[in-house]
Amino acid sequence: MDKFDVIVVGGGHAGAEAAFAVSRSGLSCALITMDQTKIGQMSCNPAIGGLGKSHIVREIDAMGGLMGRATDLSGIQYRTLNTRKGDAVQALRVQCDRDLYKKAVQKILKETNIKIIQDEVVDFLLTNKKAQGVITKSKTYKSKKIILTTGTFLNGKMYTGNIIKTGGRIGDESSIPLSKRLYSLNLPMGRLKTGTPARIKLSSINLLDMEEQPGEKPTPWMSLASPPKKHQKQLSCYITRTNKKTHEIINKNIHLSAMYSGEIKGIGPRYCPSIEDKVRKFQDKNSHQIFIEPEGINKDLVYPNGISTSLPKKAQQEFIFSIKGLERSIITEYGYAVEYDFVDPRTLKQNLETKYLENLYLAGQINGTTGYEEAAAQGLMAGINASNSIKKLKDFVLERSEAYIGVLINDLTSHGITEPYRMFTSRAEHRLLLSQNNAEQRLILKANEIGIVKKERVDKYLSNEKEYKKFYTNNLVKLKKDFFIDKNGAKIRLQEKRSISSLLSRNDVDEKKLFKPNKKDTKLYQRAITEIKYSGYIKKQIREINKTKKQNNKQIPTNIKYEEIHGLSNEVKEKLIKTQPQTIGAASQIEGVTPAAINLILIHLKKKELVSQNA
């Protein structure tokens, strides 16, 4: 029988990142997928990054993951969003060539010891109520850990008007036997939906009628590691809008939409509504933006982002033809809504292992998230934690104040979800600490402790940090001035000389005129400006974090009986029983759990400890 340390089921963004993490941990790994040509497939819009998401990609990247590298190998348009706002909320968005992205992922995985197996997993190998491997259609494979990253395959249904097909993605079947096995575990489940727009031939679109949005110059990189030699050929995106007529057509046909006919029960994401929802819910808006994304270099296909729909084909065609520039569209694939089951992520521990079946980890869309980045982040963390557990190392858990990935997993495992979960910067209460540009400072050393980052990368990071410190001391601390130019261009004299760094903390100072760094130091100066501008706010946040850190990290044993805790209200008891928080910190985040309730839990835990000591 073939044996591996870890088996990853599924080859999407979570699966690829999970397998890659296991391999970097130095363990053996198999990735089992139904179609190996689809490993790393972008099944929605062909873009990586954006607000909250580029932050995640950079974090994955800082811990040695593949998503940033694959993005740079396939990126055809780079744009930094929020350039007029501060560093913490700037985000890089990259349009990718769909095929090149997939190829890049496959190439990276090929360079490792990961064994890729094309087969269908139909069951788990169970001994003593623990998962010990998987059974495929043709074979049985043993493993110490299993990571399930199967996306939307659980009871997936696709809707176009009144036509319903089973499956999780166009052209791909659902895995029915495995879903049955999963259902038999009685995990709490819910139902979600999401949608996609039609795909249109680029050659059939009149781009001259649309607003062009070119990429950023000079073109940046997503990965903070050494980039490829050069960028792929760069393309533009285009913007057009729906109009009154479009809305009329949609209103006229809305009863035919699968979502409005009552067929679909799942909850869709509010931040990614179908065009039917937009027209219905915001009747006062005469027009909605559509973002035309190229599918790839030399590819005669675009992704019209903003008009996802489950209307029948005829109606889709009619409303698309009413949009400026799309009047002669040739539609290659029609939009559809997908409805699927997800596992309530509150049944997962913070290391992403299920509380229901030992050795089984879940990552990605199966946990109710949406987005490549969110999936990849979970894959990475499940991969690391499965490996750590085999090596008898501690769980690798990131704090909310440490990484967006920490926010993501903490939100999932302690609050669960009510709609497909997507990251936003506003989800991170310590947002100012978490910039896409300081991901390495936050995470690389921590990841290096468990050996998942290449040595060259760590060395380069350390020397960069050294260089920054040198720059800071030599220029910003030692250099002093007795005047500065303010934002209105006026020269302000000072009573005594002050260092550049202390002048930078003033709001009225014009940073560009205060100090002119050498070209190679521009980035270092920019970093210093950001750090100084944020420092007051950050000090305050760090004070708050430290205040509760120790207590928050206290573990709550899984066998705790909340019903026994004298003095907790029934409502609080119910919430705690349902959520099963792993730590005091997670418990205190639950709505309605007061500081007094936390005290009672702490006392209860202590009591139990004493009783067991005396027994």
Partner 1 sequence: MSVVYALATPAVKSAICIFRVSGEGCHDYISEIFGLDSPQPRRFLLCDLKNNETFIDRVGLILFKGPESYTGEDSFEVYAHGSLGVMSLIVDLFDSKGFDQASPGEFTKRAFINDKINLNEAESLSDFIESASSREVFLSGASLFGDLSKKLSDFSERINSLRVRVEAEIDFSDEGQDFMDGSLSNDLSLLIEDFGSFVSLCINKREYSNNKNIVLVGPTNSGKSSIFNRLLGYERAIVTDAHGTTRDMISSEVFFQSNKFSIFDSAGIRETEDVIEKKGIETSIKKISDADLVLGVFEKKDASLVSSFKKMCDKGSFFIIQNKIDINSSDTSFFDCCVSAKTGEGFNSLKNLVVSFFERNKKNNKNSQYLIRDRHVKLFNQVTKDLDIALKGLNDSKSLELVAEDLKNARSGLDEILGKKFSDSLLGDIFSSFCIGK
The binding site for partner 1 (CB under 8 A) comprises 45, 50-52, 81-82, 85-86, 88-89, 93, 239, 269-273, 278, 281-282, 285, 288-291, 305-306, 424-427, 429, 431-432, 487, 507-508, 533-534, 537, 540, 543, 547-548, 550-551, 566-567, 591-592, 594-596, 599-600, 602-604, 606-607, 610-611
Residue placing its CB nearer to partner 1 in the complex, 426 or 502: 426
Alpha-carbon distance of 78 to 211, in angstroms, equals 17
Q: Which residues contact 496 (CB under 8 A, 6 or more apart)?
A: 482
Binding-site positions read 10-15, 121, 175, 268-282, 365
Q: Of 509, 565, 262, 505, which Cα lies nearest the Cα of 577?
A: 565
Residue placing its CB nearer to partner 1 in the complex, 118 or 541: 541
CA dist 398 → 59, 423, 424 (Å): 11, 16, 17
Instruction: Report, in Å, the least distance between residue 478 CB and partner 1.
Output: 27
3-state DSSP: the chain helix, strand, coil percent, rounded to 5?
Answer: 40, 20, 35
Contact yes or no for 583/555 (Cβ under 8 A): yes
Residue placing its CB nearer to partner 1 in the complex, 477 or 603: 603
Instruction: Report, in Å, the least distance between residue 270 CB and partner 1.
Output: 4
Instruction: Report, in Å, the least distance between residue 468 CB and partner 1.
Output: 21
CA dist 261 → 162, 163, 191, 268, 272 (Å): 9, 12, 17, 15, 20
| Radius of gyration for the chain, computed over Cα atoms and rounded to the nearest angstrom | 26
Residue placing its CB nearer to partner 1 in the complex, 398 or 433: 433
Residue placing its CB nearer to partner 1 in the complex, 454 or 513: 513
State the residue for tokens 């290096």.
448
Contact yes or no for 33/10 (Cβ under 8 A): yes
DSSP characters over 520-587: GGHHHHHHHHHHHHHHHHHHHHHHHHHHHHHHHT-B--TT--GGG-TT--HHHHHHHHHH--SBHHHH
Residues across the chain = 615
Binding-site positions for NAD(+) read 268-282
Q: Is the dihedral of CA 369, 373, 377, 380 positive or negative?
A: positive
Q: Which two tokens stand for residue 276?
A: 């039917």
Instruction: Report, in Å, the least distance between residue 200 CB and partner 1.
Output: 15
Instruction: Report, in Å, the least distance between residue 133 CB and partner 1.
Output: 41
Residue placing its CB nearer to partner 1 in the complex, 368 or 379: 368
* Strand, coil or helix: 185: coil
Alpha-carbon distance of 337 to 339, in angstroms, equals 7
- Please, which residues bridge with residue 199 across strands? 333
Residue placing its CB nearer to partner 1 in the complex, 22 or 272: 272
Residue placing its CB nearer to partner 1 in the complex, 140 or 599: 599
Instruction: Report, in Å, the least distance between residue 600 CB and partner 1.
Output: 6
Instruction: Report, in Å, the least distance between residue 271 CB and partner 1.
Output: 5
Contact yes or no for 71/101 (Cβ under 8 A): yes
CA dihedral 549, 553, 556, 562 (to 10 degrees): 20
Alpha-carbon distance of 154 to 366, in angstroms, equals 8
Alpha-carbon distance of 57 to 61, in angstroms, equals 6
Alpha-carbon distance of 388 to 394, in angstroms, equals 6
Contact yes or no for 378/421 (Cβ under 8 A): no
Residue placing its CB nearer to partner 1 in the complex, 115 or 506: 506
Count of CB atoms within 10 A of residue 513's CB? Answer: 13
Instruction: Report, in Å, the least distance between residue 161 CB and partner 1.
Output: 22
Instruction: Report, in Å, the least distance between residue 604 CB and partner 1.
Output: 8
Is the preceding peptide bond at 312 cis, omega within 30 degrees of 0? no
Alpha-carbon distance of 43 to 106, in angstroms, equals 16
Binding-site positions for FAD read 10-15, 121, 175, 365
Q: Where are the alpha helices (DSSP H) in 416-471?
A: 439-449, 455-471
Residue placing its CB nearer to partner 1 in the complex, 321 or 424: 424
Alpha-carbon distance of 210 to 292, in angstroms, equals 9
Residue placing its CB nearer to partner 1 in the complex, 165 or 607: 607
Q: Of 3, 182, 224, which Cα lies nearest the Cα of 92?
A: 224
Residue placing its CB nearer to partner 1 in the complex, 348 or 601: 601
Instruction: Report, in Å, the least distance between residue 431 CB and partner 1.
Output: 7
Angle at 545 between CA 543 and CA 547, to 5 degrees: 70
Count of CB atoms within 10 A of residue 596's CB? Answer: 10
Instruction: Report, in Å, the least distance between residue 335 CB and partner 1.
Output: 13
Instruction: Report, in Å, the least distance between residue 4 CB and partner 1.
Output: 40
